[in-house]
């Protein structure tokens, strides 16, 4: 993280992410968007990047044990729940309470790292084709820049085909 960033200006959850990134040797600062980044399109518009470059964090609940399952997907992709379930087990929807309880973050601000309960995580293979990504940093207005390689290194998660592909 650069020393120019004043952590005191960040909301608590984003400050926690900024410190975690710093501890892990990630040098890019947490950036606060003037408008919400709750959707990939909103975040991309605020950052001036393509929607594909938004690494969105989608949380599911694994039916068999209530474990959180995090899919980090390209902002342009819908997650194919059948593909994810084939790798990790049957999935159920995660409501806002489950998301907050398991991640420590509100929906729209779920970061790929620093969760209250370590999730089973998969990274969308489509993200690896990009040079630069933006991910939520613990708050709906907070994001940080990283490369696909950084994402894999920070999460330790496997890369998988998780995108819903419509038949031609």
Residue at 63 is within a domain: yes
User: Is 2 a domain residue?
Assistant: no
Which stretch of 4-8, 89-93, 141-145 has the lowest confidence by average pLDDT?
Answer: 4-8
Per-residue pLDDT, 168: 65
The dihedral through the CA atoms of 82, 86, 88, 92 has a sign that is: positive
Question: What is the extent of the structural domain holding 137?
Answer: 7-160
3-state secondary structure of 42: helix
pLDDT of res. 24: 95
- Confidence class of residue 35 from pLDDT cuts 50, 70 and 90? confident
Asked, for residue 101, whether it belongs to a domain, the answer is: yes
DSSP state of 163: B
**Contacts of 83 by beta carbon, 8 Å cutoff, 6+ apart:** 160, 161, 162, 163, 164
pLDDT at 2: 40
Amino acid 32: pLDDT: 94
Whole-angstrom Cα distance, residue 62 to residue 131? 31
Whether the per-residue pLDDT at 166 is higher than 70: the answer is yes
Does a structural domain hold residue 54?
yes
- Residue 65 belongs to a domain: yes
**How far is the C-alpha of 122 from the C-alpha of 85, rounded, in Å?**
11
Res. 78 pLDDT band, cuts 50 70 90: very high
Q: Is residue 168 part of a domain?
A: no
Q: What is the CATH number of the domain that holds 66?
A: 3.90.960.10
Closest by CA to 10, choosing from 102, 109, 100, is 109
Q: What is the pTM of this model?
A: 0.93
Mention every residue, 6+ apart, whose C-beta is less than 8 A from residue 47: 31, 33, 37, 53, 134, 143
CB contact set of 14 (below 8 Å; sequence gap of 6+) = 30, 32, 109, 137, 138, 139, 141, 142
1, part of any domain: no
Q: What is the pLDDT of residues 84-131, one digit of tens each?
A: 999 999 999 999 999 999 999 998 899 999 999 999 999 999 999 999
pLDDT for residue 7 = 83
Asked if the structure places residue 167 within a domain, the reply is no
Confidence of residue 8 (pLDDT cuts 50, 70, 90): confident
The separation between CA 94 and the C-alpha centre of its own chain, rounded to angstroms, equals 15
In what helix (H) or strand (E) does residue 12 lie, and over which residues does it extend? helix 12-23
Total domains present in the chain: 1
Instruction: State the Cα–Cα distance between residues 141 and 31, nearest whole angstrom.
Output: 8
pLDDT score of 5 more than 60: no
């Amino acid at each position: 993280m650069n020393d120019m960033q004043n952590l005191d200006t960040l909301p608590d959850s984003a400050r926690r992410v900024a410190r975690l990134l710093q501890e892990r040797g990630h040098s890019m600062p947490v950036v606060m968007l003037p408008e919400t980044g709750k959707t990939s399109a909103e975040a991309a518009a605020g950052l001036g990047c393509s929607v594909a470059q938004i690494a969105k964090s989608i949380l599911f609940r694994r039916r068999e044990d209530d474990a959180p399952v995090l899919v980090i997907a390209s902002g342009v992709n819908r997650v194919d729940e059948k593909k994810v379930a084939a790798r990790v087990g049957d999935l159920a929807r995660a409501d806002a309470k489950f998301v907050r309880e398991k991640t420590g973050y509100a929906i729209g601000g779920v970061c790929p790292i620093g969760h209250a309960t370590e999730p089973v995580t998969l990274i969308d293979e489509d993200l690896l084709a990009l040079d630069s990504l933006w991910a939520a940093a613990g708050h709906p207005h907070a994001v940080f820049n990283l490369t696909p390689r950084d994402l894999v290194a920070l999460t330790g998660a496997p890369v998988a085909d998780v995108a819903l592909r419509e038949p031609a």
